[in-house]
Amino acid sequence: MAQIGTDVQKAKDFLEAGKVIGLPTETVYGLAGNALNPDAVLDIFKVKNRPSFDPLIVHTDSIDKVESFVTRIPEPARRLAERFWPGPLTILLPKKPIIPDLVTSGLENVAIRIPNHPMALKLLALLDFPLAAPSANPFGYISPTTARHVADQLGDQIPYVLDGGSSTVGIESTIIGFVEGGPIVYRLGGMTLEKLESIVGKVSVRSHSTSNPKAPGMLSSHYAPRKPLFLKTPEQALATHKPERIGVLAFDAMTRLIPLENQQILSVTGDVSEAAKNLFAALRALDQSNVDVIIADLLPETGLGRAVNDRLRRAAFK
């Protein structure tokens, strides 16, 4: 079983030895390995059981380092980086050959971000290589927001989880790229469209792909619990299930129709940012409870509500 601890030097030693570890970030915990070491990258895919056609995000701690991994940073991308890094924003940039094709699934662009987490930044500053780090969960399952989540899911396959507390954003980073037609968001996430548009103007959103995604996190079925999740009202769910067999993931209010112990409220004040922070932990609690199905509310389509709704739609039972 993986050791959980706060020893940054120990994490560094494992990474330099080609191992993969659990890494705290402000979005979710990552499964991190040396992005320049194809063997370590391959281990990430193996541990997650992630398909090799789904590219990874590369993490580092400075824009200067980013410039050593990419051929150029377009002017609007640089403006976003200077404004929002460190932070929950990933930018697609044309890669140099130093980045293995395995990291990008053969694509010309590499997804890069600087995480806004003090422990992650301290570790990255000590390393002479960037870290490839998708979410530290089995592929397609609920993303982890604590070190214990990582250890419970992957602890028999990795040696160490660096414990940086609960993730403060709670959903993955927003991914943006640039084409001749302008900026495109490939994954909704912890950076709102409103903030992006305040820097680069109107952005388009292309957040789903059934195969050969252009960026990480684009697959149309993802972030799902083991138990079926439906975007239904309690009344609709009661037509086919007993109240005690239904779990409720609600935005801001309980329902009297389902036992209270089967309900998780994302934000009693109706705050979409708080709801985003609590999403994966609440979904995990319901998945581990004694219910047969989970029903969920969609949030208002504003701010981080869009990203939460994106996760819920992709987690919903097909």
Q: Could you tell me the CATH number of the domain that includes residue 300?
A: 3.40.50.11030
- In this structure, is residue 219 part of a structural domain? no
Whether residue 231 contacts residue 311, with contact meaning beta carbons closer than 8 Å, is answered with: no
Question: Looking at residue 209, what is its pLDDT?
Answer: 55
- In this structure, is residue 213 part of a structural domain? no
304 vs 273: CA distance, rounded Å: 6
Angle at 215 between CA 212 and CA 216, to 5 degrees: 95
Question: Looking at residue 247, what is its pLDDT?
Answer: 98
Instruction: Clarify whether residues 197 and 247 are in a common domain.
Output: no
Mean pLDDT of 146-156: 95
Q: Of 170, 205, 240, which residue sits at a domain end?
A: 205
3-state secondary structure the chain: CCEEECCHHHHHHHHHCCCCEEECCCCCCEEEEECCCHHHHHHHHHHHCCCCCCCCEEECCCHHHHCCCECCCCHHHHHHHHHHCCCCEEEEEEECCCCCHHHHCCCCEEEEECCCCHHHHHHHHHCCCCEECCECCCCCECCCCCHHHHHHHHCCCCCEEECCCCCCCCCCCEEEEEECCEEEEEECCCCCHHHHHHHHCCCEECCCECCCCCCCCCECCCCECCCCEECCCHHHHHCCCCHHHEEEEECCCCCCCCCHHHEEECCCCCCHHHHHHHHHHHHHHHHCCCCCEEEECCCCCCCCHHHHHHHHHHHCCC
Mean pLDDT of 3-16: 98
Mean pLDDT of 255-264: 97
Mean pLDDT of 194-210: 87
pLDDT surpasses 90 at 211: no
- In this structure, is residue 223 part of a structural domain? no
Instruction: Clarify whether residues 200 and 234 are in a common domain.
Output: no
Question: Looking at residue 224, what is its pLDDT?
Answer: 82
Q: Of 190, 205, 220, which residue sits at a domain end?
A: 205
Q: CA torsion, points 120, 125, 130, 135, in degrees to nearest 10?
A: 0
Residues 6 or more apart whose CB falls under 8 angstroms from that of 263 comprise 247, 248, 250, 254, 255
pLDDT surpasses 80 at 116: yes
- In this structure, is residue 220 part of a structural domain? no
pLDDT surpasses 60 at 212: no
- In this structure, is residue 59 part of a structural domain? yes
Mean pLDDT of 96-112: 95
Q: How confident is the model at residue 53 (pLDDT cuts 50, 70, 90)?
A: confident
- pLDDT tens digits along 67-103: 999 999 999 999 999 999 999 999 999 999 999 999 9
Instruction: Clarify whether residues 59 and 187 are in a common domain.
Output: yes
- In this structure, is residue 212 part of a structural domain? no
Q: Is 245 annotated as ligand-binding? A: no
Domain count, the chain: 2
Question: Looking at residue 179, what is its pLDDT?
Answer: 87
Mean pLDDT of 171-193: 94
Instruction: Clarify whether residues 23 and 93 are in a common domain.
Output: yes
Instruction: Clarify whether residues 250 and 201 are in a common domain.
Output: no
Instruction: Clarify whether residues 177 and 250 are in a common domain.
Output: no
Report the chain's C-alpha Rg in angstroms. Answer: 19
- In this structure, is residue 129 part of a structural domain? yes
Instruction: Clarify whether residues 41 and 179 are in a common domain.
Output: yes
Q: Is 50 annotated as ligand-binding? A: yes
Amino acid identity, position 27: T
Instruction: Clarify whether residues 81 and 173 are in a common domain.
Output: yes
224 vs 85: CA distance, rounded Å: 29
Count of C-beta atoms within a 10 Å radius of residue 267: 19
Question: Looking at residue 317, what is its pLDDT?
Answer: 72
Count of C-beta atoms within a 10 Å radius of residue 254: 13
Instruction: Clarify whether residues 25 and 97 are in a common domain.
Output: yes
pLDDT surpasses 60 at 280: yes
Q: Is 68 annotated as ligand-binding? A: no
Q: Is 250 annotated as ligand-binding? A: no
pLDDT surpasses 70 at 219: no
Mean pLDDT of 188-200: 97
Instruction: Clarify whether residues 197 and 236 are in a common domain.
Output: no
pLDDT surpasses 70 at 19: yes
Q: Is 59 annotated as ligand-binding? A: yes
Mean pLDDT for the chain overall: 93
pTM of the predicted model as reported, rounded to 2 decimal places: 0.91
Question: What CATH number is given to the structural domain containing 137?
Answer: 3.90.870.10
- In this structure, is residue 210 part of a structural domain? no
Q: Of 170, 190, 205, which residue sits at a domain end?
A: 205
Q: Is 313 annotated as ligand-binding? A: no
Q: Is 135 annotated as ligand-binding? A: yes
pLDDT surpasses 60 at 271: yes
Mean pLDDT of 254-262: 96
Angle at 203 between CA 30 and CA 224, to 5 degrees: 35
Domain of residue 234: give its range.
229-315
Q: Is 143 annotated as ligand-binding? A: yes
pLDDT surpasses 80 at 249: yes
Q: Is 113 annotated as ligand-binding? A: yes
Amino acid identity, position 105: S
